[in-house]
Amino acid sequence: MSLSIRAAAPADLPLIAALIRELAEYEKLGHEVRFDEAVLGEQLFGARPYAEVLIGETDGQATGFALFFHNFSTFEGRPGIYLEDLFVRPEARGRGLGKALLVELARLALERGCARLEWWVLDWNEPSIGFYKSLGARPMDEWTVMRVDGQALTSLAAT
């Protein structure tokens, strides 16, 4: 068995869209997927890309992905990498692909002068939490995620 990680290309857009949908179903959030594939492609591969994608392959077959973007820490005075999505298809789990994707993200973070790599994980996802802790990740339990979207976002902008 061979594992490989590569940067996504525009031709990977249908694959990325499928993987996002598979992740959403796994997270029991399939009903929240609303993206338009063409708009997603523009956001990932257009004139000003807002995020990047790594494709994980097992024996030459795409079996996982990591979608990430840069954030910034004022306390560190340096950028970081925020991992929005990490997903490995069920048939490929337990073979090291998730770890390989995180290793590549850590390598990119150091190469790009980032102070940290961070992400969210659903609190019910104990297998992933245990896996992340085994790699040295620590929960940031003292923080609460806040979000403004939909009509609340529109209303706030109009204030």
Output the CA angle 145-147-148, nearest 5 degrees.
165
The helix (run of H) or strand (run of E) holding residue 73 is strand 61-73
CB neighbour list of residue 63: distance below 8 Å, 6 or more residues apart: 56, 57, 88, 89, 91, 92, 97
3-state secondary structure of 159: coil
Instruction: Based on the residue annotation, tell me whether 132 is a catalytic residue of this protein.
Output: yes
The catalytic residues are: 132
